[in-house]
């Protein structure tokens, strides 16, 4: 299996009607666009910065090297696709109430899009006092009741509102009605899908003055109307490692570093590292990759041994494809 070096990628910055100024400042961007809402840190169409693959997209490298990049688990399931998308989200205003389909629905009803379903998880980086999310239903319901609530303006009575604070982890499986509300900065790991069905958008209008598009019929098809969503229970793994969430598509761990740590990738999966506090040098062979808060890096499955050297202390999020994937 050929060895591929660590891959730093260009960010994709997206503005939205609900974006703000917190993300640009946190990333240290001098020329951040107005209403910056999302920074797509790792995505298959992002281009590699530096090294032998400079200028190529992550998808192009994956197509050439297959399991050497994505790992044997992901390759067995998705082939040479890079399966995950990692982003930061800054919600200065409420996001729309929305839902994502599962793989079965996406492949059947939205095959032309080329997307799979979308399960995601959030790690809250900052939250203003009183900030909350919408996460599933307050109680089980059915399609007719939900549709009637949308029509008569009582939808919010059916939804589960959850206060959040920095350090919380939220798991959002496909079919879960959800929304990030104002005053929250977070990291999101997700399946690399952009299938989103808006249910309610506070009657907002786009830049052309038109009401933002809703997708109620599709949403009603994919919503899970059953039991209310459950909160995740992080699991301490020892040595400053915490498993925040794990599902068939991804796992996310938090690593709190206070000293150098020798690590190695495994052939089964790539690793996606994102620094959320402090600074750390990633050392591989004779190369040093300095990473500060807001930086992400892809470690190919074939990389092998590397070292994480924090400057004093640092915290990273580590994402990968688990054995269930």
Interval 106-115: pLDDT, tens: 999 988 888 8
* Cα–Cα distance, 108 to 155 (Å, whole number): 28
Neighbouring-strand partners of residue 140: none
* Cα–Cα distance, 27 to 62 (Å, whole number): 27
> DSSP letters along 241-270, please?
EEEEEE-SS-EEEEEEESS-EEEE-BTTB-
* Cα–Cα distance, 247 to 63 (Å, whole number): 25
Residue 120 phi/psi, 5-degree rounding, is -145, 170
* Cα–Cα distance, 131 to 230 (Å, whole number): 19
Nearest Cα residue to 105 out of 218, 257, 251: 218
Strands lying side by side in the sheet with 159-163: 159-163, 132-137, 178-180, 97-99, 197-200
pLDDT in single tens digits along all 325 residues of the chain: 788 999 999 999 999 999 999 999 999 998 889 999 999 999 999 999 999 999 999 999 999 999 999 999 999 999 999 999 999 999 999 999 999 999 999 999 988 888 899 999 999 999 999 999 999 999 999 999 999 999 999 999 999 999 999 999 999 999 999 999 999 999 999 999 989 999 999 988 877 888 889 999 999 999 999 977 778 999 999 999 999 999 999 999 999 999 999 999 999 999 999 999 999 999 999 999 999 999 999 999 999 999 999 999 999 999 999 987 5
Nearest Cα residue to 200 out of 156, 136, 162: 156
* Cα–Cα distance, 128 to 166 (Å, whole number): 9
For domain 235-320, which CATH number applies: 3.40.50.300, 2.40.110.10, 3.30.470.20, 2.60.120.10?
2.60.120.10
> In this predicted structure, what is the pLDDT of residue 325?
53
Which region holds residue 137: left if phi is over 0, alpha if psi is between -120 and 50, else beta?
beta
* Cα–Cα distance, 110 to 105 (Å, whole number): 7
* Torsion angle of C-alpha atoms 11, 14, 18, 20, degrees rounded to 10: 50
pTM for the structure as a whole: 0.96
Residue among 11, 73, 198, 254 flagged as catalytic: 198
Cα 208 from chain centre: 29
Q: Exposed/middle/buried for 284, CB within 10 Å: 0-12, 13-18, 19+?
A: middle
Q: May I ask the CATH architecture of the domain 12-222?
A: Sandwich (2.60)
> In this predicted structure, what is the pLDDT of residue 231?
85
Hey, how many other C-beta atoms are within 10 angstroms of the C-beta on 154? 11
- Radius of gyration, alpha carbons of the chain: 20
> In this predicted structure, what is the pLDDT of residue 229?
79
The sign one gets for the Cα dihedral 104, 123, 203, 192 is negative
Tell me which residue has tokens 């200028």. Answer: 55
What are the residue ranges spanned by the domains of the chain? Answer: 12-222, 235-320
Q: What's the whole-number average pLDDT of the chain?
A: 95
**16 tagged catalytic:** no
Helix (H) or strand (E) holding 306: strand 305-320
């Amino acid at each position: 299996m050929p060895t591929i070096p660590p891959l730093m990628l260009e960010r994709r910055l997206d503005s939205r009607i609900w974006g703000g100024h917190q993300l640009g400042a946190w990333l240290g961007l001098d020329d951040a666009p107005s209403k910056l809402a999302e920074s797509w840190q790792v995505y298959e169409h992002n281009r590699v910065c530096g090294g032998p693959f400079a200028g190529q997209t992550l998808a192009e490298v994956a197509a050439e090297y297959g399991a050497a990049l994505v790992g044997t688990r992901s390759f067995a399931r998705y082939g040479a696709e890079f399966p995950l998308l990692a982003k930061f989200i800054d919600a200065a205003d409420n996001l729309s109430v929305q839902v994502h389909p599962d793989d079965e629905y996406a492949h059947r009803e939205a095959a032309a899009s080329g997307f799979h379903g979308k399960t995601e998880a959030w790690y809250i980086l900052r939250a203003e006092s009183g900030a909350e999310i919408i996460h599933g239903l307050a109680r089980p319901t059915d399609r007719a009741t939900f549709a009637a609530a949308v029509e008569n303006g009582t939808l919010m009575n059916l939804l589960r509102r959850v206060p959040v604070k920095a350090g919380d982890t939220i798991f959002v499986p496909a079919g879960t009605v959800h929304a990030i509300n104002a005053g929250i900065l977070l990291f999101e790991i997700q399946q690399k899908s952009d299938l989103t069905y808006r249910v309610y958008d506070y009657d907002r209008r786009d830049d052309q003055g038109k009401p933002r598009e809703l997708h109620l019929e599709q949403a009603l098809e994919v919503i899970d109307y059953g039991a209310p969503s459950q909160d995740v229970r992080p699991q301490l793994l020892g040595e400053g490692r915490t498993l925040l969430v794990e599902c068939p598509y991804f796992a996310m761990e938090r690593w709190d570093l206070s000293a150098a740590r020798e690590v190695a990738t495994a052939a089964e999966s790539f690793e996606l590292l994102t620094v959320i506090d402090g600074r750390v040098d990633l050392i591989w062979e004779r190369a040093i990759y300095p990473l500060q808060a807001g930086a992400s890096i892809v470690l190919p499955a074939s990389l092998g041994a590397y070292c994480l050297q924090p400057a004093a202390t640092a915290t990273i999020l580590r994402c990968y494809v688990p054995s269930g994937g």
